[in-house]
């Protein structure tokens, strides 16, 4: 798809989409890459088995428990039941997909020297989960041409809770870098 786009291409990935974008970036002709807390495990977080604990809930027929655990540990939301979407709008039917994605997260090993030469914007929220914030900081050390932006008073879901701030950061990054290129 990227090859079929005329002109400069910017790819945005959030969470698991950030992992997918990061993993694909070395093979793509990108002008810019934007990653909001990509689901990458680094350092002490590499040993976590969230996927196995989620699967245990599914094996017990407890989709709600699986999603609650995912929101707590994967998304950094201490009490998911307090979310305005809980439980009516929570996609409990996607719990199997969440487990599969978490297995992919667990197995993905970010390269120590990524072959990514495009301009990269790394985004994180000051209230984001510790393991995802650690991933952003690690990527900032590994990617040669990056800018790191942290949103105050935002967490992992700033794309929903503060979409204007995220959009402005991406817009500024694309416009600023476009004039310098």
Give the tens place of pLDDT for each residue, 25-80: 999 999 999 999 999 999 888 777 899 999 999 999 999 999 999 999 888 889 99
Q: Nearest CA to 123 among 88, 76, 170?
A: 170
Enter the pTM of the model.
0.89
When pLDDT is averaged across residues 17-25 and rounded to a whole number, the result is 96
Instruction: For 75-119, write each residue's pLDDT tens digit.
Output: 888 999 998 999 999 999 999 999 999 999 999 998 888 999 899
pLDDT of residue 177: 52
pLDDT attached to residue 48: 77
Question: Domain map of the chain by residue range?
Answer: 2-42+110-180, 46-106
Q: Are 31 and 179 within 8 A, CB to CB? A: no
Rounded to whole angstroms, how far apart are CA atoms 91 and 152?
28
pLDDT score recorded for residue 1: 84
Token pair 């699986």: residue = 66
What is the Cα–Cα distance from 62 to 146, expressed in whole angstroms? 41
Torsion of CA 62, 64, 67, 71, to 10 degrees: -130
User: Cα separations (Å) of 123 from 12, 88, 129?
Assistant: 10, 29, 13
Q: Which helix (H) or strand (E) holds 10?
A: strand 10-14
Please give the Cα distance from 153 to 89 (Å, whole number). 24
Cβ burial, residue 25 (10 Å; 0-12/13-18/19+): buried
CATH code for the structural domain at 2-42+110-180: 3.40.50.1820
């Amino acid at each position: 798809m990227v090859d079929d786009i005329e002109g400069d291409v910017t790819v945005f990935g959030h969470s698991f989409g950030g992992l997918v974008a990061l993993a694909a970036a070395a093979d793509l002709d990108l002008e810019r890459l934007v990653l909001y807390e990509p689901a990458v495990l680094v350092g002490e977080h590499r040993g976590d088995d969230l996927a196995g604990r989620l699967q245990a809930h599914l094996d017990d027929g407890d989709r709600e428990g699986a999603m609650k655990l995912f929101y707590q540990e994967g998304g950094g939301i201490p009490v998911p039941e307090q979310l305005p979407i809980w439980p009516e709008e929570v996609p409990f039917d996607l719990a199997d997909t969440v487990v599969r994605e978490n297995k992919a997260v667990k197995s993905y090993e970010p390269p120590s020297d990524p072959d990514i030469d495009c301009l990269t914007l790394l985004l994180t929220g000051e209230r984001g989960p510790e393991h995802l914030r650690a991933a952003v900081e690690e990527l900032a050390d590994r990617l040669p041409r990056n800018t790191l932006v942290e949103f105050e008073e935002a967490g992992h879901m700033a794309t929903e809770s503060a979409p204007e701030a995220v959009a402005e950061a991406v817009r500024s990054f694309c416009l600023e870098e476009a004039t310098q290129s």
